[in-house]
Amino acid sequence: MNENTDMPPTQLHLSNKLIALLVVLVIVVAGVSGAVGSYFYTSSTHQSYSATLTTPVLHNPTPPPVTVHTTAGTIASITGNILILKSTNTTVPNSTVLIDPSTKIIEFTIKNQKAFQAEVAAFTKANKTGSKATLLQPIMTTTTLSVADLSTGDRIMVTSTQNIAVLEKFTASKIQVYPKTQFTNQR
């Protein structure tokens, strides 16, 4: 008899074989059920994914809320501190923009090309000779404007602190005036 158990050695050996057989059986059953479950899971996922590819997407009549603070367009008219903006925004094609004393109006101007090229040449020459080069200034400069400087036809970008996604009338916090093009002499 074995000191640790009350069973004879042949029964103990048989008991160990039975336990080993049960462990192997559990592993095999788990593997088979995992494989079968995996097959059905991937089959159902593939079918639902295929169905979403062929199912037409319905138009949602109530889109999620959108926050918009900037719009661009052309000044259609201007009277005093109120301008009508013909916007590139398709939701509100014409907006009434109120300009108050705190509205910043900035115009971007493109430098004269010959002057800018001369600056670049001087900068390059100074770098090649190892002398101290003056940093290049941007190709565009900004100028602060007043409402009186704006005119019909100017292309502008308007920023507001309000959500202007669907507003037809709002107050501008900043107006950026696009530079005049070399071809039309218009902004």
Between residues 152 and 65, the one the model is more confident about: 152
Pull the structure tokens for residue 169.
Answer: 């009338």
At residue 8, the pLDDT reads: 59
Distance between CA atoms of 147 and 104, rounded to whole angstroms?
10
Predicted confidence band of residue 2 (pLDDT cuts 50, 70, 90)? very low
Distance between CA atoms of 91 and 123, rounded to whole angstroms?
47
Between residues 92 and 24, the one the model is more confident about: 92
- Segment 34-38 shows an average pLDDT of 69
Between residues 92 and 26, the one the model is more confident about: 92
As separate numbers, helices (DSSP H) first and strands (DSSP E) second, the chain gives 2, 6
Distance between CA atoms of 81 and 84, rounded to whole angstroms?
10
- What is the residue type of 7? M
Domain ranges of the chain: 1-56, 70-177
At residue 44, the pLDDT reads: 53
At residue 25, the pLDDT reads: 73
pLDDT digits (tens, 9 = 90+) for 37-60: 666 666 555 555 545 555 555 555
Question: For the residues of 71-120, what is the DSSP string, one character each?
Answer: EEEEEEEEETTEEEEEES-SSSSEEEEEEEEEEEEEEEEEPPHHHHHHHH
- Segment 17-40 shows an average pLDDT of 72
- Segment 80-98 shows an average pLDDT of 88
Question: How many CB atoms are located within 10 Å of the residue 136 CB?
Answer: 12
Distance between CA atoms of 94 and 87, rounded to whole angstroms?
6
pLDDT digits (tens, 9 = 90+) for 95-118: 999 999 999 999 988 777 788 888
